[in-house]
Structure 1
Amino acid sequence: MRCGWNGPLPAPGIRTIREMRPVLADPTCAASDPLYYMYRDLARSEADRRWLCNHRLRYDITVIPSRDLCGEHVKTKGHYHPDNPVGTGYPELYEVLEGTAQFLLQSRRLDDVILVLASTGACVIIPPGYGHITINPSPDTTLVLANLVSTAFESEYGEYETLHGAAYYVMSDGRIIKNLHYPDVPPARKCTAVKGQGTAGRACAGSIYSLIGDREALAFLNEPEKYPDLFKGLLKD
C-alpha cells in the first residue's frame, strides 16, 4: 500500500457489493467485488499500540478504489456513533492520505446535511451527533483515508440500512439526488476542509498518526463534552 505507511499491515476487511446493495441508489447494481478495503487497529510499533489501547483509541486505514456503482460514486456504507456515558456522541478524526474525498454528514435529527470536500493532507472531524459516509469522487484515483476513533463503541449501521443509504446519493455525473426513503431534509450544504485551518487546532495541524502519544490532543475522541469549542465552526459553509 502506498501513502507512506511503513508499519505492519494485517489482512483487510473487505466490503462487498452484497453488503452495499441496501444503501445504493441502484440496489440491483451488479458490480464485482471487492469495493473497498478496511485495515483496522494499526500501529507502527508495540509502544504505539500500547498507548492506543491504554487510551481506548484505534488507528485505521481505508482504501477505496475508484468505481462507478451503476451511476453512483463508490462510497462507504455509512453509520452513526452512539453517545458516550455522559450523553455526548462520539466524534471521529479523519485524514486524507491520498486522493480526494467527499464526506457526506447528516445530523441524527436530519436537520443538517453537509457535503465536505477534502483533498490530500486535509483532515475532517466528524462531530458528535452526525452520521457519515465517505465517497471517492475521482474517476481514476484511489482514495486512501486514515482515521482515529474511540474503541469504546460499535458503529451503528441500522438506520442507513433501513433508509437505503444516506439522505442523498452523490452520482457519477455530479448530481446530488434526494433519497426518497427519507422525510423532508434540508439541501446538502457544501464546504471544504483545509489542512491546518479552523478551530480543530492540534488535531488537524499535521499527520494524525503523529498525535499518538499526545493525550491532550486526542482526549476529545472519548470525552467530547469537555471540548465543545473544538466543534464550533467546523462545518460552516
Structure 2
Amino acid sequence: MNVPWDGALPAPGIRTVRDMKSVLADPACQETGPLYYMYRDVARSDADRRWLAGHSLRYDITVIPPLDLCGECVKTKGHYHPADPAGTGYPELYEVLEGEAQFLLQSRTLDDAVLVDAPAGSCVIIPPGYGHVTLNPSPDTTLAMANLVSTAFESEYGEYETLHGAAYYVMSSGRIVKNSRYPDVPALRKIFMKKGPAPAGAIKSPIYALIGNRDALAFLNEPEKYPALFGLL
C-alpha cells in the first residue's frame, strides 16, 4: 500500500469489517476484509521519537482506501476522549495528507453535531468533549491522514458500540441518515475547510513540523489553557 511518508513505518494495525459490525448503518453488511490501516508512533528519527515520548505525544498515519460499505461511506470506528486532570477533554490534531476527509463530530452531551469537509493539506482540531468518526467519501481515491495526540489517555469506543455508530450515518450517495438509536440530536452542522492559506490563528500543515515545538503542541495535553484554539471550528 502506498503511504505518503518518506521514512520507516511500523507494521500497521488493521481494522476489518468484522471489527466494525457494531457501528455500521447495516450491521448485516456482508463485506469482508480490511477497511483501514493505522500506523502508530511514527517518527523520522530517534530524536523525534524521544521528543514525542518525552512530551506524552504520538504521531500517527491512517490510510483509508475507498469502499462502498453496503451503502455507507467507509469510516473509522469512532470514539470519545476522556477528560484530562483539569476536567477538560483531550483534543486531537489531524492533517489530511492525500484525498479528502470528512470528520463527523458530536459533543458528548449530544447538543452539537458537525460534519467537516477537509481537503488535502487542511488541518482539523477535534475539540475537547467531542467524539469523532473519519470518513473517506471518495469512490475512487484513498484517504491518508496524520494525527498528533496525547498518549496520556485511552480512546473510549463504548458509546459508539452501544449505540451502533455516531448519531448520523453518511451514505455513499451523500445522503445523511439519523441513527434512530439516539435521542433527539440537533441537525447536522456543516463546515467546509477551504483549500489555500489557513486563516489567522489556525494550525498549518505539515503538522510534523511542529515536533520539537513544545509551545505549539502544549494544547494537546493541557487543553484547558487554550480555549480560544477550539473556537476555530
SS at match of 1:139: coil
Q: Measure, in 1, the Cα distance between the counterparts of 2:164 and 2:48.
A: 38
Instruction: Report the CA distance between 1:210 and its aligned residue.
Output: 0.5
Q: What does the per-residue CA deviation read over 1:180-228, in whole Å, with 9 as the maximum and x for residues that have no partner?
A: 0000001110001246534643xx2220001000101000000000111
TM (normalized to structure 2)? 0.97
* 1:225 alignment partner in structure 2: 224
Q: Measure, in 2, the Cα distance between the counterparts of 1:75 and 1:200.
A: 29
Map 1:83-98; keep pairs closer than 5 Å: 83-98=83-98
The 8 Å contact of residues 101 and 137 in structure 1, kept in 2 or not, is answered as: yes
Map 1:1-237; keep pairs closer than 5 Å: 2=2, 4-194=4-194, 196-198=197-199, 200-201=201-202, 204-232=203-231, 234-235=232-233
The 8 Å contact of residues 200 and 231 in structure 1, kept in 2 or not, is answered as: no
**Structure 2 gap ranges (5+):** none
Q: Which runs of 4+ in 1 moved over 3 A?
A: 1-4, 198-201
In structure 2, relative to structure 1, the CA distance for the partners of 1:105 and 1:83 (3 Å cut) is same
SS at match of 1:59: strand
Q: What does the per-residue CA deviation read over 1:40-90, in whole Å, with 9 as the maximum and x for residues that have no partner?
A: 000000000000000000000000000001000000000000000010000
Count of matched residue pairs: 232
Q: Measure, in 1, the Cα distance between the counterparts of 2:197 and 2:210.
A: 14
Q: Which amino acid aligns with 2:217?
A: L
TM (normalized to structure 1)? 0.95
**Structure 1 gap ranges (5+):** none
The 8 Å contact of residues 97 and 146 in structure 1, kept in 2 or not, is answered as: yes
The 8 Å contact of residues 3 and 97 in structure 1, kept in 2 or not, is answered as: no
Q: Measure, in 1, the Cα distance between the counterparts of 2:64 and 2:39.
A: 11
